[in-house]
Structure 1
Amino acid sequence: MTLTGILPLYKPKGVTSHDCVMMARRWLRTKKVGHTGTLDPEVTGVLVLCTGRATKVAEELTGWDKTYEAVVALGKSTTTEDAEGEVVEENQEALQRIREQDIDEALQTFTGLIEQVPPMYSAVKVNGRRLYEYARAGETVERPKRSVTIQNMERLTPVSEDENGKYFRIRLTCSKGTFVRTVAVDIGRYLGVPAHMAQLERTASGPFTTADCVTTEDMDQTEKPGQRLLPVTDALQHLPAVALNETTAKQIGHGAVLDKATLNTDQDKVLLTYKGEAMAVYATHPKQQSRLKPAIMIDPELPGRA
């Protein structure tokens, strides 16, 4: 039987998100594994995977806020906005006038609703092509601005300095679609110096943190992977939950549309559970605002197995 659940994985540096999915498939002995948002190969941290029936909720989870810790490097900018690119500008002299209070002021400036221009080396599509395809072909294209939200951002370390520039570590929590390397570049631009992101770790994705993660070493050492899976309900904590009795659960199993009053809720989207397990996500009917219809059928056969 295919295992169902949520697997927060700590992605190591140097592997792709797809590589991690393949590792999980081998470990869990199933092809039914998907992720809730990729990490670049050089980025480490929390990569949340879904397996079995939990793959049905993967799209629901992609909108999570995420928390990162990044090292911002002042003094050099690169083609890719991170340490992997070629240096395109360098200015060490301007660094001498920058104080820690200037940096903290910059962090506050980029907190809240901001606009970003996505990096040329990114998977954002413009006119049907990904930006990195234009970049690799040596072509330029106008990149549309996008609005993102940085809930909070703080400096974690004193500013250090060597012959290559000044460095400091920040922590930020941000909305889906935020490019942290662009945040680093924009901080430098505010300070009047070239900058790039030297290092990045995702420390939380939605409710899951590094403390919840399985590592690739765990995969090598754990013989019963099912014991490391978390229940689907853990990933859907952002939704109000409604516990069903057996009669209503059987109706849900057949895809019934129900009155909100029947479920004793006035919410637009709810998680329906039966005996503590996730059964379905229901959302307001587009033509009948007082009723809820199926949005995601996670486990419609649950009442029959219970």
Structure 2
Amino acid sequence: MSFTGIIPLLKPPGMTSHDCVNKLRRILKMKKIGHTGTLDPSVSGVLPLCLGHATRVAEYIQDLPKEYVGTLSLGRSTTTEDADGEVVEDKPVEETFTGDQIADILQQFMGTIEQIPPMYSAVKVGGVRLHELARQGKEIERKARKVEIYRIDLLSTSLEGPYPEFTMHVKCSKGTYIRTLCVDIGRKLGYPAHMKNLNRVASGPFKLQNCYTFEQIEEAANRGAVEELLKPIDWALLQYPEFTVERQQVQDIYNGKKIRLGPLYVDGQLLRIYSPDRRFLALYRTIEQEGEWWGKPEKVFRLEGE
């Protein structure tokens, strides 16, 4: 059996993204399944998995903003920047912070910030993943990378005692490390810090409340109802404008021909292409030629049997 579409998985803690792909392959008895970006094993939450032809849009899901709810623990830093690592600095907090103080500090991280990727990460340097070097006891210089924090809100606090904690909701760009954000926030407060736990609550249009557990997916597979769980391919592309072609142009789309567009486009803009009966056909990119706007194929999604 083969399926095409996107399953928003509720990833359990303790599994890598690749583990999740392998388990879904066993449940659905199909090979063509891909994830949409690595999620640390200890992190739970939204992990869209692409099935069949939908694997061709995984890269676009990876580029979408992500949302997390995480708890920062102040007073200790670790080798991995999260609760899984060994403590490398222990400095009990001697002052009492207020919620307003924490909230004010968080707002200083809004917008474009720079992060140095943690050693325990999947970032490659010289063709080798940093976590492989870290496990060999090596630490190398890493270049800072720019990421975007679209929103950061304080949700709750537990600020008493030598190791206060607070929980925050972060909406951020691709490539943001919440672990590193926690360390940097701690540094701003004058103390070592690490991420105690993390849950991804959204990945683009895929929300936590719309995700399915492995148990729910397996139950659906047993009763032949997997299609009920699938989101269509174009769900991963809703950030792009749509364009509907005439009925006689559908075959041209399938043949990869360029199409004439109307005015008021931006060069290089991506468009979702639909048939008059609302079938998603392709992803096209705009180009300007001799004063006219055209669309040329980026990816065509022809269904089997058409």
Q: Is the 8 A contact 2:98 2:159 kept in 1?
A: no
Q: Is the 8 A contact 1:233 1:277 kept in 2?
A: no
Match of 1:91 in 2: 91
Q: CA deviation at 1:6?
A: 1.2
Q: Quick check: 46-55 or 171-180, which moved more?
A: 46-55
Question: What letter matches 1:229 in structure 2?
Answer: L
| Cα separation, 2, equivalents of 1:208 and 1:47 | 8
Q: CA deviation at 1:160?
A: 4.0
Q: What TM-score does the superposition give when structure 1 sets the normalisation length? A: 0.92
Question: What letter matches 1:276 in structure 2?
Answer: R
Q: Is the 8 A contact 1:189 1:195 kept in 2?
A: yes
Question: What letter matches 1:83 in structure 2?
Answer: A
Secondary structure of the corresponding residue to residue 38 of structure 2 = coil
| Cα separation, 2, equivalents of 1:117 and 1:154 | 22
Q: CA deviation at 1:74?
A: 0.2
Question: What letter matches 2:283 in structure 1?
Answer: V
Secondary structure of the corresponding residue to residue 142 of structure 2 = coil
| Cα separation, 1, equivalents of 2:36 and 2:289 | 30
Question: What letter matches 1:13 in structure 2?
Answer: P
| Cα separation, 2, equivalents of 1:95 and 1:216 | 44
Q: Does 1:291 align with 2:298?
A: no
Q: Does 1:62 align with 2:65?
A: no
Question: What letter matches 1:225 in structure 2?
Answer: V
Match of 1:282 in 2: 284
| Cα separation, 2, equivalents of 1:9 and 1:100 | 34
Match among 178, 181, 184 for residue 182 of structure 2: 184
Secondary structure of the corresponding residue to residue 256 of structure 2 = coil
Q: CA deviation at 1:100?
A: 2.4
Q: Is the 8 A contact 1:100 1:159 kept in 2?
A: no
Match of 2:4 in 1: 4
Match of 1:258 in 2: 259
Q: Does 1:114 align with 2:113?
A: yes
Match of 2:42 in 1: 42
| Cα separation, 2, equivalents of 1:180 and 1:278 | 35
Secondary structure of the corresponding residue to residue 22 of structure 1 = helix
| Cα separation, 2, equivalents of 1:14 and 1:134 | 22
Q: Is the 8 A contact 2:60 2:236 kept in 1?
A: no
Secondary structure of the corresponding residue to residue 282 of structure 1 = strand
Question: What letter matches 1:46 in structure 2?
Answer: V
Q: Is the 8 A contact 1:95 1:193 kept in 2?
A: no
Q: Is the 8 A contact 1:83 1:197 kept in 2?
A: yes
Secondary structure of the corresponding residue to residue 95 of structure 2 = helix
Q: CA deviation at 1:142?
A: 1.1
Secondary structure of the corresponding residue to residue 158 of structure 1 = strand
Match of 1:271 in 2: 272
| Cα separation, 2, equivalents of 1:244 and 1:26 | 39
| Cα separation, 2, equivalents of 1:95 and 1:167 | 14
Question: What letter matches 1:7 in structure 2?
Answer: I
| Cα separation, 1, equivalents of 2:200 and 2:94 | 28
1:13-24 alignment to 2 at 5 Å?
13-24=13-24
Secondary structure of the corresponding residue to residue 211 of structure 1 = helix
Match of 2:249 in 1: 248
| Cα separation, 2, equivalents of 1:84 and 1:286 | 52
Question: What letter matches 2:245 in structure 1?
Answer: L
Q: Is the 8 A contact 1:5 1:229 kept in 2?
A: yes
Aligned residues: 299
The unaligned stretches of length 5 or more in structure 1 are none
Q: CA deviation at 1:221?
A: 2.1
Q: Does 1:173 align with 2:175?
A: no
Distance 1:195 1:20, change over 3 A: same
Match of 1:239 in 2: 240
Q: Does 1:100 align with 2:99?
A: yes
Secondary structure of the corresponding residue to residue 284 of structure 1 = strand
| Cα separation, 2, equivalents of 1:105 and 1:116 | 20
Q: Is the 8 A contact 2:271 2:286 kept in 1?
A: no
Secondary structure of the corresponding residue to residue 96 of structure 1 = coil
Q: Which runs of 4+ in 1 moved over 6 A?
A: 286-289
Q: CA deviation at 1:269?
A: 1.1
Q: What TM-score does the superposition give when structure 2 sets the normalisation length? A: 0.92
Secondary structure of the corresponding residue to residue 156 of structure 2 = coil
Q: CA deviation at 1:191?
A: 0.3
Question: What letter matches 1:293 in structure 2?
Answer: K
Q: CA deviation at 1:78?
A: 0.2
Q: CA deviation at 1:127?
A: 2.4
Q: Does 1:141 align with 2:143?
A: no
| Cα separation, 1, equivalents of 2:72 and 2:280 | 41
Q: Is the 8 A contact 2:97 2:159 kept in 1?
A: no
Q: CA deviation at 1:291?
A: 2.0
The unaligned stretches of length 5 or more in structure 2 are none
**RMSD of aligned alpha carbons:** 1.9
